[in-house]
Amino acid sequence: MKCAVYIRVSTEEQAKEGYSLATQSDKIVEYIKGKGWTYSQIYNDDGYSATSRRRPALERMLADAAQRQFEAVLVYRIDRLSRNLKDLIEIVEELAKNGAGFKSITELIDTTTPEGRLMFHQFGSFAQYERELIIQRTTMGIHKRCFKNHR
């Protein structure tokens, strides 16, 4: 199977969670080689948030999918692709329309199977939930600092 590799970090995530681009690509390439597959390209969105679909490498990857340059997109974790369930669904549907599946190497996600599609929706929901918690905590922290500074 010919795969595409998609990796992404925002600067904040890389610092906090250790999902460096090198770690993601190394793990995915190792997984691909272990399966006896090949990869066409590594699409790298360094410093881009998963809250928007407007990312250069993501857009190139989707354009290449339309040209049927690969059969599957592999990510380290689903939240590398997006933290928005609606966007995840739209991206994966676009890939499927062009004959490409979607796989996460650390989660039970493989959209070429019914079970994998179920897990895709579950993990996608958790990714969105996590994003909303991050926003909530950040907002609370900002409000607390503002209140503390105005006493």
Instruction: Check pLDDT > 90 for residue 75.
Output: yes
What CATH number labels 2-149? 3.40.50.1390
What are the tens digits of pLDDT across the range 86-102? 898 899 999 999 999 99
Residues whose CB falls within 8 Å of the CB of residue 121, separated by 6 or more in sequence, listed in order: 85, 89
Q: What is the pTM of this model?
A: 0.77
Calculate the CA dihedral of residues 56, 125, 90, 11 and round it to 10 degrees: 0
Whether the CB-CB separation of 102 and 31 falls below 8 Å is answered with no
Determine phi and psi for 101, rounding to 5 degrees.
-90, 180
Q: Is the predicted pLDDT of residue 44 greater than 90, yes or no?
A: yes
Token readout for 66 is 């339309």
pLDDT on residue 131: 65
**Residues forming a β-bridge with 5:** 42, 74
| pLDDT, position 15 | 47
Active site residues: 10
